[in-house]
Each structure stands twice: as C-alpha cells, then as structure tokens.
C-alpha cells in the first residue's frame, strides 16, 4: 500500500464524510431561518424603541403596531388576518354566522353613511329605520366624514345593550333607541318549490349548523310537497366552515366517500375528509348553480359533487379560493386566521387559482385558468346594459324604491308584484326631478377623445367634426328604458319588493327573471 493510497479517501470513507456534512448543512439552514427571524424582530423592536425615545410627537403605539401587523399579513395573502380581542364580534360572525348588533346593511354615499337594507324582525327594522336614512350620530359619535366600518363598529356591540341613533329622513332628524341583540343570519336565504316537484335552495354561507339548517329545509320540502329533484344555488356564496360543506355532500353520497383533502407545510395540515353518515337522499337528481363569486366551501361542495358524478354544475367558473384557514389564539386575547393548506378535490385537482407564493418571489400576481370549478354547463353572466348600469350606479333604483314605499302602504305578494306602465312613467318623472343624465359608453369615449385632441392641439376642423358627433350619441333615457323594459323591471321591481318583504320577497321576485335558474330547471328535469 502506497502513501498516496493511504491519503486518498475510500468510497466508504466518502459516504461517512458526506453524512455529517449533510447534517451540518441542514442544521445551518435551520439556524439561518431562525436567525433571520430573530434578527428582524430585533430590528423591529429597536425601531420602535428609537421612535419612543426620539420621535418629536407622541405616537399611538397600539395603532402603529397593529397597522404593521396588518400590512405584513397583507403581503402574505388576502385571507391571513389578525383579529384583535376587541373584534370578538367579527370572530363570532365569521365562525357562527351571528354577531351583536341591530341587523342592518349600510352603505357609503356622498361622504355619508346610509341605511341600505334591513333584516326582517331585527332591531333596526322593528324600531322603524328605513333604507335611505342617513346616520347623523351613533352612540354619541358624529357620523359626518366617517366610513362604513367606523359606523358599523359603533352599531355592533354586546347583545342587550342599548344605543341611541340619530338619523336624517326627508330633511328631518329622528332619534331612535335601539337595543342590540344576537343577529343570526340564516344560512338558507330562500327555499321554495318550483315546477314539476323541483326544490330550490339558495344557500348563503357555510356557518355553524348551516348543514343542519339545509337538511331541515330540504326534508320539509320532501315531506310536505313531495319534491324529487333539487337545485342548490351557491351563486355569491363566499364559503365558510369546511365541515358544513362535507356534511351536505354526505346527504347525497355513500358513507366514507372522500370529499376533499388538504395539504400544507405541517403534518397536521394534511388531512383527507370523508363523509361520516349514510346518505339521506342517495338518488335525488341534483343541479348546482355557481358563479364567479362562489368560493371556498362552495367550491368544495360543487366540485366534490361534480367529481363524484353526483350533480350537474351550471353557471360560471367559480372564484378559485382553495386556501384553508385555521384560527389560532395569540397573545392578549387576539386571534390569527392563518392559511395552513390548500384544498384538493377527489380527482386531485386544486381549487386555488392564484399562487400567492409566486407573488412573494416578485412574480406578477395572476389567476391560474385551471383554478376554480368549471361548470358542466357554462353560462356567461350577461352584463348590465348601459342604461340599467347607469341607473344602478347613480342609486336611482334605490332612491325611487324609497319614495315608492312611502307612497304605497301595501303591494301584491312578491311572486305576483308587477310594475305597471304608470309606475314606469312615474319612475321617468322621478328621473327628470333628479336631473338624471344618461351618457352612453360611446359618448364617454368620444368625450375623452375630444379632450385628448384639444391637448394635442389638433386641427380645429377635426375638433369640429368630433363635436358634431355628440348630438348623434345623445340618447333619450325614456326610450332606452322602454327598449330595455324587462331588465329595468327586474332591478327596479326587486328593489321595491325588498322594502315590503325583505330578502325572502327579493329572491321570490328575482327568480321570475333568472335566466340561469331557467337553464338549471331544464338540466335537472332531464336527470
């Protein structure tokens, strides 16, 4: 054996050397990650300390730190959020579908906050608030210049507590004493029997016990009306608790069927969810309606039923929100709703459409066309026509419905209510009073073109030619309303019906005009 052979490592020696090197590398990487976190936390603490010592003015450190937390989480994804202890109501609303409040929807308009909608049987409705009322003061807070969140935070509070609300209605100030209560929003927004023993359930959201509420409505329609087919409407349903969606799937498919799986960073984030009970309606034909606002648990319900060949999906490609959030307690009574994994359907496809991790690497945020649920029957949502869009945007439907309600003590039931010729004429007179101006999309583009031509100091003859087009693009909105009468009746009528019959009437009225529902009826009838 030569000296060289003694100095040269054998294959076995190489292996023995590689193993500790790998372990060292792994340890260094782990240490680097931990060190990086510790380093940045030290920097953050030092910055705050220097601000405290040296900054010229007194700072609100609670607000400053909370803002920095929120900005940090915003950089992660839109669904990972910090919930401070003072927002326990928001946490209850998120998980249970209820909160302490007065039961109203509010809107921001013209630098003020107004009542937009009332929940039937809730404190706001019972004490006489009306859509269109302007908030002047809430619990002593001047509402001028405040946004909807600030006003909403004042309206919400401990059930049983009373607040004073000052409103403006028709230039008169009204003072209301309103006692807050638990506001529980029903998961089933509307349920009815359609033609040929077809049941219909509009499902709002997946909150605690929503699956049981769904079952009670469905069972009631089966027992009392003999329905043998079902349309589940998930349009606009943003999701919620995954277990509720799995439970609903379990009403229609065999026990121990895989519904969805989750995959994440930690072992406890990886899980396969299966149905836990025998099906109650194993053979009932199903159609599920979805749109681009159907997300999360809605996509699990629709996607699982599609993968299992148990339902026909009708509508638009869904939102593509396939990220799983869990709520973790943190210091001082707060909570962190944090994304822990992604959803995968039985076929293996991932629901998530946007890769936020790629954004963190500096890549442009984009939607994966494979994300979401592609319906079996794809329907394109018809865009609002120009006249109806303008009327909706300028709150004309909303304002006229408020006036109509004051002038008409009662109307026909929602399923029968019909706007008359005189109603539409009165609506047009109302638009005259409001000095409603209707500009077509073409007219708006022409105006922009003329401004651009002026800035570029183009030939005056060309400018005159462009100006000459204006009268030809002026549209008589009365004629436009008549041409699009059906669409105007749908939007205006639904707003009026809502004043008398609230959400239940709103849905009952709209279903008469619902083209997507008509297609869903055709599909379920053929199953």
Residues 390 and 496 in one domain: yes
DSSP structure class, residue 293: T
Residue 35 lies in a domain: no
CATH number reported for the structural domain that contains residue 371 in this entry: 3.90.226.10
Query: Which helix H or strand E contains 176, and what residues bound it?
Result: strand 172-179
Q: Which domain does 418 fall in, by range? A: 386-438+475-525
Residue 275 lies in a domain: yes
CA separation for the pair 55, 272 (Å, rounded): 53
The torsion region of residue 366 among left (phi > 0), alpha (psi -120 to 50) and beta comes to: beta
Residues 395 and 257 in one domain: no
The pLDDT of residue 27: 55
Residue 31 lies in a domain: no
Which of 184, 217, 232 is a domain's end point? 184
Residues 167 and 194 in one domain: no
Residues 233 and 366 in one domain: yes
Residues 398 and 491 in one domain: yes
The pLDDT of residue 13: 44
CATH number reported for the structural domain that contains residue 142 in this entry: 2.30.42.10
Which of 150, 184, 218 is a domain's end point? 184
Instruction: Decide if 303 contacts 315 (C-beta within 8 A).
Output: no
What does the block give as tokens for 486?
Answer: 């059906």
Residues 295 and 167 in one domain: no
Please tell me the total count of domains within the chain. Answer: 3
The label of the residue with tokens 């076995």 reads 12
Residues 260 and 372 in one domain: yes
**Bridge partners, 104 (sequence order):** 118
Residue 93 lies in a domain: no
Active site residues: 296, 307, 321
The pLDDT of residue 412: 96
Residue 37 lies in a domain: no
Residue 78 lies in a domain: no
Tally Cβ neighbours within 10 Å of residue 57.
4
Counts of helices then strands in the chain (DSSP H, E): 19, 19
CA separation for the pair 145, 266 (Å, rounded): 46
Instruction: Decide if 117 contacts 104 (C-beta within 8 A).
Output: yes
Which of 127, 149, 184 is a domain's end point? 184
Residues 198 and 294 in one domain: yes
Residues 177 and 195 in one domain: no
DSSP structure class, residue 196: G
pLDDT in tens, the chain (527 residues): 443 444 444 554 444 444 554 555 555 555 577 788 888 888 888 888 888 888 888 888 888 888 888 888 888 888 888 888 777 666 666 666 567 899 999 999 989 999 999 999 999 999 999 999 999 999 999 999 899 989 998 998 889 999 999 999 999 999 999 999 988 888 999 999 998 899 999 999 998 899 999 999 999 999 999 999 999 999 999 998 899 999 999 999 999 999 999 998 888 889 999 999 999 999 999 999 999 999 999 999 999 999 999 999 999 999 999 888 888 888 888 888 888 889 999 999 999 888 777 666 666 655 666 689 999 999 976 555 678 888 998 999 999 999 999 999 999 999 999 999 999 999 999 999 998 877 666 666 666 777 777 777 766 776 676 666 666 666 678 888 888 899 999 999 999 999 999 999 999 999 999 999 999 999 999 99
CA separation for the pair 310, 123 (Å, rounded): 42
CA separation for the pair 1, 294 (Å, rounded): 76
Residue 63 lies in a domain: no
Residue 488 lies in a domain: yes
Residues 399 and 281 in one domain: no
This model's pTM is above 0.85: no
The pLDDT of residue 332: 82
Residues 6+ apart with CB under 8 A from 526: none
CA separation for the pair 94, 301 (Å, rounded): 19
List helix spans (H) across 436-484: 441-455, 460-468, 470-473, 477-483
Residues 177 and 193 in one domain: no
Residues 414 and 355 in one domain: no
The pLDDT of residue 82: 87
User: 100-135: buried (b, 16+ CB within 10 Å) or exposed (e) per residue?
Assistant: bbbbbebeeeeebbbbbbbbeebbbbeeebbbbbbb
Long-range contact list for 420-425, CB < 8 A, 24+ apart? 424/481, 424/482, 424/485, 424/488, 424/489
């Amino acid at each position: 054996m030569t000296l060289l052979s003694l100095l040269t490592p054998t294959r076995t020696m190489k292996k023995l050397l590689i193993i500790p090197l790998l372990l060292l590398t792994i340890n260094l990487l782990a240490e680097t990650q931990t060190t990086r976190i510790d380093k940045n936390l030290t920097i953050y603490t030092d910055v705050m300390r220097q601000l405290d010592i040296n900054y010229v003015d007194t700072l609100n450190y609670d607000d400053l730190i909370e803002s920095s937390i929120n900005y940090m989480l915003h950089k992660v994804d839109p669904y990972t959020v910090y919930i401070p202890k003072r927002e326990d109501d928001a946490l209850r609303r998120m998980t249970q579908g209820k909160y302490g409040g007065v039961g109203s929807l509010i809107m921001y308009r013209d630098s003020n906050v107004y009542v937009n909608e009332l929940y039937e049987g809730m404190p706001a409705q019972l004490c006489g608030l009306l859509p269109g009322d302007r908030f002047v003061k809430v619990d002593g807070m001047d509402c001028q210049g405040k946004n909807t969140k600030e006003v909403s935070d004042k309206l919400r509070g401990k059930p049983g507590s009373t607040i004073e609300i000052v409103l403006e209605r028709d230039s008169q100030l009204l003072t209301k004493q309103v006692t807050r209560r638990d506001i529980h929003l029903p998961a089933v927004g509307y349920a009815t029997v359609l033609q040929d023993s077809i049941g219909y359930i509009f499902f709002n959201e997946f909150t605690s016990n929503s699956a049981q509420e769904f079952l009670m409505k469905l069972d009631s329609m089966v027992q009392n009306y003999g329905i043998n087919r079902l349309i589940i409407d998930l349009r606009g349903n943003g999701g919620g608790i995954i277990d509720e969606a799995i439970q609903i799937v379990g009403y229609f498919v065999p026990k121990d069927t895989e519904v969805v799986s989750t995959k994440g960073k930690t072992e406890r984030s990886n899980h396969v969810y299966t149905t836990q009970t025998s099906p109650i309606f194993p053979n009932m034909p199903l159609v599920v309606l979805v749109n681009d606002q159907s997300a999360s648990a809605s996509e699990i319900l629709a996607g699982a039923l599609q993968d299992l060949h148990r339902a026909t999906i009708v509508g638009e490609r869904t939102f593509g929100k396939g990220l799983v959030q869990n709520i973790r307690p943190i210091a001082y009574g707060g909570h962190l709703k944090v994304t822990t994994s992604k959803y995968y359907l039985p076929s293996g496809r991932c629901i998530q459409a946007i890769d936020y991790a790629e954004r963190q690497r500096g890549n442009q945020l984009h939607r994966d066309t494979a994300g979401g649920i592609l319906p079996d029957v794809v329907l394109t949502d018809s865009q609002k026509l120009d006249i109806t869009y303008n009327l909706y945007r300028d709150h004309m439907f909303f304002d006229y419905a408020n006036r109509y309600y004051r002038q008409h003590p009662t109307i026909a039931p929602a399923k029968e209510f019909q706007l008359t010729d005189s109603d539409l004429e009165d609506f047009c007179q109302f638009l005259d009073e409001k000095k409603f101006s209707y500009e077509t999309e073409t007219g708006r583009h022409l105006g922009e073109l003329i401004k651009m031509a002026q800035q570029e100091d183009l030939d005056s003859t060309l400018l005159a030619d462009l100006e000459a087009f204006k009268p030809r693009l002026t549209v008589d909105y009365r004629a436009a309303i008549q041409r699009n009468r059906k669409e105007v009746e749908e939007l205006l009528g639904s707003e009026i019906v809502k004043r008398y019959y609230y959400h239940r009437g709103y849905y009952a009225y709209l279903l008469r005009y619902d083209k997507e529902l008509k297609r869903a009826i055709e599909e379920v009838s053929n199953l």
